[in-house]
Amino acid sequence: MSQLIKPMNYRQLLDMKQTEQGIKLIKEFFQQNISTELRLRRVTAPLFVLKGLGINDDLNGVERAVTFPIKDLGDAQAEVVHSLAKWKRLSLAEYNIEPGYGIYTDMNAIRADEELDNLHSLYVDQWDWEAVITREQRTVDFLKNVVRRIYAAIRRTEYLTCETYPQIKPFLPEDITFIHSEELLQMYPDKNAKEREDAICKKYGAVFIIGIGGKLSNGEKHDGRAPDYDDWSTVAEDGRQGLNGDILIWYPVLQRSFELSSMGIRVDKDSLLRQLKIEGKEERKQLYFHKRLLDGSLPLSIGGGIGQSRLCMVLLQKGHIGEIQASIWPDDMREECRKIGMNLI
């Protein structure tokens, strides 16, 4: 309950029926936009994968995956996915996707260790996407170009939503601002990472923070990243580490920063070996996914996840993600939300 934000004078702009219609509008329009913008074809994705292949997303490396035995496979263990960061890259190879094209899918996950609040749920739904790139495109400039195109699709969706429901007023800025996590630390040396995100998002409205996963000059990471999908250790043209980052906005309803997407250029052979060594995870080189990457049978790629419920929450200006999706919440949280007009599904 201590994590619950209670927005002052909160008022639902849409009733439950309008909300469900708005969710449908946003999801259909945005996925069509993003698939056209990034030249992505839709594919079918798994809800679970076999344990021990190195395919599941390890997130920060501490979250436990939901597991269950498979009777017909001798009780071999399956894991519900955390996300599809590595599975997508295997799929790019399987579909033989050419550079400049990619795939997207509806990713549904269960994250049992999530700390529940306005933004975090046990149930996670994303548009997971991945596109093949060339060696020459593994640059910060290319990363920024893709971020701008994703942000443009988000703003187009905001425009449609506000046209459909005039009581919702647009608030996203025209442009997204880029800043490296080290530069952000230098700007706000006395703040922690979350406070720095709040400060920079409040200043600019929409921000892409570059370089998440490696240690900064204060010896700390801005945030955790697994060592085997995003490339956070390569030194770019500007002398800073990192070819990945997060899209965040300032969300006036909750008066805080709000992450919509985590994405990045993926590891190549060199950066995978480097990051596994940094994180003390070199034993992963023996796993199926990592062997495929190291033997050169997987394409270079860029990819990420865009929160479906989160995007709907922002564009419909809701105070709690439970107003968008059906999940499990503590009884006292439901009651507190009900008192201030946030009716959780």
By annotation, the residues acting in catalysis are: 57, 111, 126, 246, 259, 262
Name, in order, each residue with C-beta under 8 angstroms of 168's C-beta and a sequence gap of 6 or more. Answer: 13, 14, 161, 162, 315, 316, 317
Nearest to 91 by CA among 75, 80, 107, 110: 107
Give CA–CA dist 81/212, Å, rounded.
Answer: 22
- Phi first, then psi, for residue 282 (nearest 5°) are -65, -20
Contacts of 154 (CB under 8 A, 6+ apart): 30, 172, 260, 311
Which among 259, 2, 253 has a CA at the least distance from the CA of 117? 2
Q: Which residues pair with 62 in a beta bridge?
A: none
State residue 158 phi and psi, 5-degree precision.
Answer: -60, -40
Q: What share of the chain is helix, strand, coil (3-state, %, to 5)?
A: 35, 20, 40
41, 35 Cβ separation under 8 angstroms: yes
Q: Alpha helices, DSSP H only, in 98-192?
A: 140-164, 181-187
Tell me which long-range contacts 112-116 makes (C-beta under 8 A, separation of at least 24): 112/63, 112/64, 112/66, 113/62, 113/63, 113/64, 114/63, 115/3, 116/3, 116/329, 116/330, 116/333
Residues in the chain: 345
> What number of helices (H) and strands (E) belong to the chain?
9, 11
Looking only at Cα atoms, what is the longest distance across the chain? Answer: 57
Q: Scanning the structure block, which residue is given the tokens 């263990």? A: 77
Q: What are the tokens at 247?
A: 């899209």
